[in-house]
Structure 1
Amino acid sequence: MSHNLQLAITAFGEPDTLKLQQTEIPEPTTDQVLVNVAYAGVNPVDAKTRAGLGWGAEKIKDSLPWVPGFDAAGTVVNAVGQYQAGDRVAGRIVEGGGYGQYLCANLDALSRIPESVSFQHAASLPVAGLTALQALELADLKAGESVLILAGAGGVGHIAIQLAKTMGATVYASCSDANLEFVSQLGAKALDYRASALDAQVTDIDVLIDLMGGDAGEAALACVKQGGRVITVPTITADRIIAAAKAKGIEAQGMLVKPNPVQMDALLAKVAAGELHVEIAKTYPLEHGVQAHIDIQSGRTRGKILLEMPQ
């Protein structure tokens, strides 16, 4: 039997509920490719799902053990459609499964990785890059407007800063003191959220990209001008933020990132051209996925955390 080493959520709870398991290599359907995964991204939604929170947990509660991982980059094993064996691909895998050596992916979920882009950088883009781009587009950010991005040093935030700059916006981003220089180098006016309330540092913002939700997301509404727009990404507190915004005369909406190969192609092209920097905080071997989850749920990581699959 051919083995597929995976890291699975065995029960809802703390990071140590993640356990290694051996399964057979999956068989792709006629409209799927088998991908030998090189790297998978670790995202906050992974940790929330493992903890039993949010839409992800509700979806998989009767399917445990379940293998997370919505970001994946690797090599095509079987020739199907436009892909040949050996092609380097990355994509947003809606069904999960990135925390494993092999997964089956729909043809329309994948993008080819340019030669000059590493597997690591490609694996960092499907969730974080698409979330950043889709949030800014949903907000209808225009050149000359101001935007405040919460958690500017994080996986989504550091990409959103750069994309907002290319759109011609004036960008502000919240971060800790340790990340002020990093966020500034990306092109944003860095705001130390520990130094003082954000609304004491900036007001009359046109657009708020809320990547934190909860108390932080609600407090940041005070920075937004009347008639401003808010996109709140954490689904767990979206209803709360939307209601609080409405009470202030601010338009707010939540979002769920969607697979979009055209947008992925564009993001990969920007990385290849040196127009988009992807920060990788740390790469763990699959066997150390528990530590990766401890890190990601701390909310203090800079850029992306990845898992490397054994080959």
Structure 2
Amino acid sequence: MPKNLQLAITAFGEPDTLKLQQTDIPTPSEDQVLVKVAFAGVNPIDAKTRAGLGWGAEKIKDSLPWTPGFDAAGVVVHDSGEFKAGDRVVGRIVEGGGYGQYLCAPSDALSFVPEDVSLEQASTLPVAGLTALQALELANTTKDDKVLILAGAGGVGHIAIQLAKAKGADVFATSSSKNAEFVSSLGATALDYGKAPLEQQVQDIDVLIDLMGGDVGEAALASVKAGGRVVTVPTITAPRIIEAAEKRGVIAQGMLVQPNVTQLDALLNAVSDNSLTIEISKIYPLEDGVQAHVDIQSGRTRGKILLEIPQ
């Protein structure tokens, strides 16, 4: 009987609490599709959950060991409704499980992957792509806006720059000096966060997309003009950022990325027609997932990190 190899959080703590385990291949319910996973995205939320922080950890604290992985791309195993065996699919999997060979995914969370988009590219989009798109929409970003994106070289940031540019916005993005050229190549004005305080580098920002939170997110509020809009993505520090923004006469709100097949289809089509470029900095085999978590929690990664699931 074939087994399902997974990389699971065995306890809250450091990256080495991730351990390989074997379980039975799950059986999908009526509204689910069994997917053989090829690639899973590694996201900051995975590392926070593993460390025992935030809403994700709260949700799973009584069900360890638990397999993370909120975005996964792979191949449908059995015919199920509109999905046929062999179809290439990708989805934002709210219940996790992407760090494993087999996954029961809700059928209404899956998108078909276009022929000219690789499963590697597809697996970067459900969390990072939807976060970028939904943050810009939540801020009502338009072509006349001056937009500042924190952590512009990261998984969400490099997609957000391109989507904001596609709306016609004037985009500024923070990065390290070594990633400045990459950020500029995406069409943003790169701001080296190591050079000078942000408010000395840019002012009168209409829209701030805060992908950092904490001290960095709060300091960036000084660059936003009165009446400006802020979307802060890290949930742990969102209340602090919202409160600090209000004191400055700035409207701030937090967000939690939601599955949205229509939006995911649009992102996949943008990759297909080359209007959206995805940077994948590293693909680790599943057994090296501990190192992937060390990388992602450093906050210094460029583009996306993926796990390749053994077939």
TM-score (norm 2): 1.00
Deviations 1:62-92 (A, max 9, x none): 0000000001000000111111000000000
1:157-176 superposed matches below 5 A: 157-176=157-176
Matched residue of 1:72: which SS?
Answer: strand
Q: Cα distance, 1:2 vs. partner?
A: 2.0
The one-letter code matched in structure 2 to 1:36 is K
2:66 aligned residue: 66
Matched residue of 2:246: which SS?
Answer: helix
Q: Cα distance, 1:19 vs. partner?
A: 0.2
1:189-204 superposed matches below 5 A: 189-204=189-204
2:139 aligned residue: 139
CA distance in 2, matches of 1:100, 1:92: 15
2:288 aligned residue: 288
Q: Cα distance, 1:31 vs. partner?
A: 1.0
Deviations 1:115-143 (A, max 9, x none): 00001000000000000000000000011
The one-letter code matched in structure 2 to 1:11 is A
Does 2:236 align with 1:230?
A: no
Q: Cα distance, 1:18 vs. partner?
A: 0.2
The one-letter code matched in structure 1 to 2:261 is P
Deviations 1:241-273 (A, max 9, x none): 000000000000000000000000000000000
1:241 aligned residue: 241
The one-letter code matched in structure 1 to 2:156 is V
2:56 aligned residue: 56
Matched residue of 1:126: which SS?
Answer: helix
CA distance in 1, matches of 2:108, 2:25: 21
Does 2:130 align with 1:130?
A: yes
1:15-164 superposed matches below 5 A: 15-164=15-164
* Gapped regions of structure 2 (runs ≥ 5): none
CA distance in 1, matches of 2:88, 2:109: 13
Does 2:271 align with 1:265?
A: no
CA distance in 2, matches of 1:83, 1:124: 21
CA distance in 2, matches of 1:32, 1:13: 32
Deviations 1:88-121 (A, max 9, x none): 0000000000000000001100000000000100
Matched residue of 2:30: which SS?
Answer: coil
CA distance in 2, matches of 1:216, 1:57: 24
Q: Cα distance, 1:144 vs. partner?
A: 1.3
Runs of 4+ in structure 1 off by over 2 angstroms are none
CA distance in 2, matches of 1:309, 1:226: 48
CA distance in 2, matches of 1:149, 1:126: 19
CA distance in 1, matches of 2:122, 2:45: 19
Identity of aligned residues (%): 74
CA distance in 2, matches of 1:43, 1:179: 19
Across the aligned residues of Structure 1 and Structure 2, the Cα RMSD in angstroms comes to: 0.4
1:210-229 superposed matches below 5 A: 210-229=210-229
* Gapped regions of structure 1 (runs ≥ 5): none
Matched residue of 2:125: which SS?
Answer: coil
The one-letter code matched in structure 2 to 1:307 is L
2:307 aligned residue: 307
The one-letter code matched in structure 2 to 1:102 is Y
CA distance in 1, matches of 2:310, 2:139: 40
The one-letter code matched in structure 2 to 1:248 is R
1:255 aligned residue: 255
The one-letter code matched in structure 2 to 1:287 is E
CA distance in 1, matches of 2:37, 2:162: 28
Q: How many residues align?
A: 311
Q: Cα distance, 1:47 vs. partner?
A: 0.2
Q: Cα distance, 1:164 vs. partner?
A: 0.1
TM-score (norm 1): 1.00
